[in-house]
Structures are given as structure tokens and as C-alpha cells.
Amino acid sequence: MTFGEKLRNARKEAGFSQEQLAEKMSVSRSAIAKWETDKGMPDVNNLKGRDKRDAVCLAKHSDASAIYALISNRKLSKAEWIVDFVVQPGIVEVLDRMNGTTGNYLVEKGNRQYFVTVTKDFITTRELPGKIDGKRFEIGNHRYTKGYQIM
């Protein structure tokens, strides 16, 4: 039995959809699909690093009423989409994840929301101009999905 088959069976036994498992692991649904079809493997180092970034965000914003880890997908330009489609669907996303060890978070404090980015060297916090109510939203050329709640 391959890793993908084992993952798919375990996910189904746990009663999770691919999207639900993706949320819990802070990855995209397409990453889960790739792993289950044996077209890719999880980057264990990136998954481990998530815990450290979560802790940094929590320490910096311990007074928050809620903190959500965000799953990020970059909106592709037409040229990037063509390369992605021709070379290997999902390759641009994989390269983005390999290049960055960034954690993004939605932090709520009272009636204010902040977009927080945690890297190896820095933490940046920007107040959002409007309230984000939905599970999915866009900022610049990235689409974000609320993942698991840290706090």
C-alpha cells in the first residue's frame, strides 16, 4: 500500500473531507489531493515549522480574542498558469511553498482584525481596513482560507 493510499484511507476513516484535513494541516486541498494520488509528498520540515510560527504569533498577540492560521494560494498570472498547466499542475504552488517558510494569520482583537505574517526573521502586523467575515478572502495577489484556530 502506498503512502497516498494510506493517507486517503486514514482520512476517510477519520471522517474528514480533503478540505477539512487540509485545514487541520494548514495546507491547501490540492496538496492533500496530490499526496493521496502519490504525485507529491508532504514537506515534513515545513509542517514542523508551522508550530514555531504559531507560537510566535500567539506570544506577540496574546491579548487577541481569536487567532486563525491562514492557508495561502497565490493567484497566478496567465503566463504562470500556462507554465503550471504544461509542466505539472500545482508546480507553481509547490515552488512557492519551498521558497517561503511564512506563516500568515488573521488576528482578532475586539472589533479590529489584523493580518500577521511570521517568517524566520520577522513578524509583521497590519490592521485590516475592513472586517473579514467569511472563510475565504483575498489580499493583493493571494487568496486566503481560514485554517485552524490557534486561540
- Summarize pLDDT for 37-73 with one digit per residue, the tens: 998 888 765 555 467 888 899 999 999 999 999 887 7
Q: How confident is the model at residue 123 (pLDDT cuts 50, 70, 90)?
A: very high
Q: How confident is the model at residue 100 (pLDDT cuts 50, 70, 90)?
A: low
Q: Which helix (H) or strand (E) holds 22?
A: helix 18-25
Query: Could you read off the pLDDT of 82-94 as tens digits, one per residue?
Result: 776 776 666 656 5
- Radius of gyration (C-alpha) of the chain in whole angstroms: 16
Over residues 123-139, the mean pLDDT reads: 90
Q: Domains in the chain, ordered, with CATH?
A: 1-42 (1.10.260.40), 49-149 (no CATH)
Cell numbers given for 77? 498570472
pLDDT of residue 133: 85
CA-CA distance, 62 to 19, in Å (whole number)?
28
**pTM of the predicted structure, to 2 decimals:** 0.60
Let me know: does 71 contact 42? Beta carbons within 8 Å: no
